[in-house]
Amino acid sequence: MKAGFYQFAPSFGRKKENLDKVLSAVNDVDLDLLVLPEFFATGYQFISVEEVAELSEPVPKGYTTDFLSALSSEKGIYIAAGLAEAMGDRFYNSAVLMGPGGLVGVYRKTHLFSEEKLYFTPGDTGFRAWDTDIGCIGLMICFDWFFPESMRSLALLGADIVAHPSNLVLPYCPQAMPVRCLENRVYAVTANRTGTEDRKEHGEPLTFIGQSLIVSPEGKVLTRAREDEEVLSVVELEPEKARNKSLNMFNDIFKDRRPGSYGPLSKKTKK
Ligand code: ACM
């Protein structure tokens, strides 16, 4: 199967423009799974609750999910994409997995980053992975990568491919993803964005680091975008490779786990 990311610089608040850009980028491209950045339709740097309320949408019956659903069914593909979800008076930093038959599932970001905490509710879905006809696909969003438990949870749920919509500003993720993939023997497709948002009168601008990448279960970087380019990259993946967790005759990284020795992982830290 072929998986790809579209790395671009969404314009803040201009949904139609951003969706049109996605449409023209994927138009003639042959792939089975497309991963789009976190908040790909709205941009990232929200500066008020009112703005979040105005730009967030119900899932699945919203402008952006309607677009993704139409694109998925027209092209017969799966799309993983990040968007601002409205649910009653709460807002989530969410990602959807859309398939040719409609919405496959929703994931709400577990680990909110920085000022996201001012506007969004921490996710309540837990990590999720879905069996599809192109493999088992799990979702995590951007900063979730910083917590090894995220990818481990997805791998234990059976994910072959972790789709990772992102708006990365810290420099570390591109170096870390090969390790995350290696220690879980899964593929990952990180779709980051490029560009700068400077929407606060006296605040820091945010510059996104690009460098979207696709990594194999052996921790090999199969493709990696530059920091500043808008690009759609596609790579051939073999999901069944991610189902083999064996390293040698004696070691299988899942069978060798010792959950009884990992007690502190299920406890909150004291401070
Ligand atoms: C991030 O989680 N958007 C850094």
131 lies in some domain: yes
Helix, strand counts (H, E) of the chain: 6, 14
Between the CA of 118 and the centroid of ligand 1 the distance, in Å, is 14
| 99 — pLDDT class (breaks 50, 70, 90) | very high
141 lies in some domain: yes
Residue 188: pLDDT over 80:
yes
CB of 168 shorter than 6 A to ligand 1: yes
Q: 3-state DSSP call for residue 232? A: strand
Closest residue by Cα to residue 78 from 116, 118, 31, 38: 31
Using CA positions, which residue lies closest to atom 2 of ligand 1?
A: 143
Is residue 142 part of the annotated active site? The answer reads: yes
Is residue 109 part of the annotated active site? The answer reads: yes
Residue 28: pLDDT over 80:
yes
Q: What is the DSSP string of 243-260?
A: G--B-SSS-BTTTT--GG
pLDDT at residue number 269: 86
157 lies in some domain: yes
Residue 201: pLDDT over 90:
no
Residue 122: pLDDT over 90:
yes
Residue 271: pLDDT over 80:
no
CB of 188 shorter than 6 A to ligand 1: no
Between the CA of 71 and the centroid of ligand 1 the distance, in Å, is 26
Q: What is the pLDDT of residues 132-178, one digit of tens each?
A: 999 999 999 999 999 999 999 999 999 999 999 999 999 999 999 99
230 lies in some domain: yes
CB of 140 shorter than 6 A to ligand 1: no
CB of 113 shorter than 6 A to ligand 1: yes
Mean pLDDT along residues 62-90: 98
Closest residue by Cα to residue 95 from 85, 168, 86, 87: 85
Q: Distance between CA 64 and CA 41 in Å, rounded?
A: 7
The structural domain count of the chain equals 1
| Average of per-residue pLDDT values in the chain | 97
Q: What CATH code is carried by the domain that includes residue 108?
A: 3.60.110.10
Between the CA of 177 and the centroid of ligand 1 the distance, in Å, is 15
205 lies in some domain: yes
Residue 262: pLDDT over 90:
yes
CB of 169 shorter than 6 A to ligand 1: yes
6 lies in some domain: yes
271 lies in some domain: no
Residue with tokens 């090894």: 148
pLDDT at residue number 56: 98
pLDDT at residue number 167: 98
Tell me the percentage of the chain whose pLDDT exceeds 70.
Answer: 100
Mean pLDDT along residues 106-112: 98
Contacts of 110 (CB under 8 A, 6+ apart): 122, 123, 126, 127, 140, 144, 147, 150
Between the CA of 240 and the centroid of ligand 1 the distance, in Å, is 30
Q: Distance between CA 19 and CA 201 in Å, rounded?
A: 28
CB of 3 shorter than 6 A to ligand 1: no
Give the pairing type, strands 135-139 and 128-132: antiparallel
Q: What is the pLDDT of residues 225-237, one digit of tens each?
A: 999 999 999 999 9
Domain that holds residue 78: 2-266
212 lies in some domain: yes
pLDDT at residue number 202: 82
pLDDT at residue number 270: 77
Is residue 238 part of the annotated active site? The answer reads: no
Residue 223: pLDDT over 90:
yes
